[in-house]
Amino acid sequence: MVVKQPRAEPTDEALKTALSQLDAAADRLHLDDGLRDMLRTPKRELSVHFPVHMDDGTIRIFHGYRVHHNLARGPAKGGLRYHPQVSLEEVRALAMWMTWKCAVVNLPYGGAKGGVVVDPKDLSLRELERLTRRYATEISIIIGENEDVPAPDLGTDPQVMAWIMDTISMHRGHTAAGVVTGKPVSVGGTLGRLEATGRGILYVTQEVARRYGVALEGATVAVQGFGNVGAVAAHLLSQAGARVVAVSDRTGGLYNPNGLRIEQLLSYRKDRAPLTTGPGGDRITNDELLTLDVDFLIPAALENQITARNAPRVRARYIIEGANGPTTPEADAILNENGVVVVPDILANAGGVIVSYFEWVQDLQFYFWEEAEVNERLHKVITRAYRDVAATAEEHGISLREAAMVLAVGRVVEATRIRGIYP
């Protein structure tokens, strides 16, 4: 007799969402319970509790995690988050999303994520370095070029990646550049990484425009968030001839129906001045930006921005999700109903992980590419992924978000079946 193991129900919202998305895709793929349980469960989880000497001479214990969700398609890949709200369940959800993100753009990676419960703003630079080197040492038993390749996420940056690379290199006695990505170019990083996510959004938007017969030249665009993702996307889209009519940051936004001058705003922002006092447009709120009558809306700030509250008022024809999780499931249903085409985050913002993959490939070969080559290959990979997802959506008569999940989960299942269950 087969006895089913009881499932522990998650309490974390991100993990609940991740599991319900997986269940929906598993239903469409008619997966049996065994495979479903395999995909619901991370392969490996490491919890570490480690001491760090603080500048005042005291010792503080920090708590961190590294989770490998699924390795059927290759080494694990995923970011490392320093944030006070990090929890094991949240890291599990993020690791699972990385599995799907890598699979949907067809990178030979599984999904992973890591985190340390800390607000990096509370630490001095030296404390941050000691914490990073000790955490890297603690998780060194499961990371490596062939095992798991971390990258930056919330609260971590290229400097943190350089410290991790150096720590692992010191242990091994030789430079191990391929152990993390998102490093500075001077220590094995790749050209084009900083702009990669915004550039991926440009390429996806171009592809959507082509598919739906919209001329990008003169098309109207609103971008929420003017950081690494949003500002690069706004800049590249305006260079491509689109009319970026609105941009925003946490203080609010600027609107000009004739188009904003993005280069002028970029140089205005160099000294971190709030966008709302910038030149060339009228002030609007973030809520007004999200409901502007535009061709393309690019939420590139935070999660949960398009909700059941404002979704009925969204007038954009196409939404390209730059941020992770900017649309709630309830809002997604409303947008679907209203015929708004949404390109989901795991596809639209995959430019970053795609170029991280290129960084790893270059590190393994000790051979570095020109920026034009990086961009050209990014274009090829993300455009093909968009076309795969669009074809799956058409075939099943489902949304691009559902199609991205069906495609991604289907690829992981195929790899699992072909490899077989060991022993």
List residues binding ligand NAD (CB under 6 A).
197, 224-230, 248-250, 286, 300-302, 322-324, 349, 352
**Least distance in angstroms from the C-beta of 113 to ligand NAD:** 12
- Which entry of 43, 113, 183, 270 is annotated as an active-site residue? 113
Nearest to 136 by CA among 110, 114, 112: 114
Pick between residue 40 and residue 401 the one whose CB is nearest to ligand NAD. 401
CA distance 193 to 184: 9
* Edge-first strand listing for the sheet containing 220-224: 282-284, 252-255, 243-249, 220-224, 296-299, 318-320, 341-343
Residue bearing tokens 């060194």:
140
Beta bridge partners of 244: 221
Residue 178 or 230: the one with the smaller Cβ distance to ligand NAD is: 230
Q: Among residues 227 and 259, whose Cβ is nearest to ligand NAD? A: 227
- Kindly state the smallest distance separating residue 180's Cβ from ligand NAD, in Å: 15
Specify the residue, 114 or 134, whose C-beta has the smaller distance to ligand NAD.
114
At which residue do the structure tokens 């188009």 appear? 259
Is 43 an active-site residue?
Answer: no
Q: How far is the CB of 103 from ligand NAD (least distance, A)?
A: 16
CB of 249 to ligand NAD, least distance (A): 3
Residue whose CB is less far from ligand NAD, 42 or 192: 192
Question: From the CB of 338, what's the least distance to ligand NAD, in Å?
Answer: 23
Q: How many CB atoms lie within 10 A of CB 131?
A: 25
Instruction: Identify the three-state secondary structure at position 326.
Output: coil
Nearer Cβ to ligand NAD, position 134 or 152?
A: 152
In the complex, what is the shortest distance from the CB of residue 86 to ligand NAD, in angstroms, rounded to a whole number? 14
Q: State the Cα–Cα distance between residues 139 and 47, nearest whole angstrom.
A: 9
Helix (H) or strand (E) holding 267: helix 262-268
What's the sign of the alpha-carbon dihedral 92, 95, 99, 100? Answer: positive
Show Cβ contacts of residue 36 under 8 Å, excluding neighbours closer than 6 positions: 22, 23, 26
Q: Which residue is nearest to ligand NAD (CB)?
A: 227
The pairing of beta strand 110-117 with beta strand 282-284 = unpaired
Task: Give every CB contact of residue 256 below 8 A, 6+ residues apart in sequence.
Answer: 245, 246, 280, 281, 282
Catalytic residues: 113
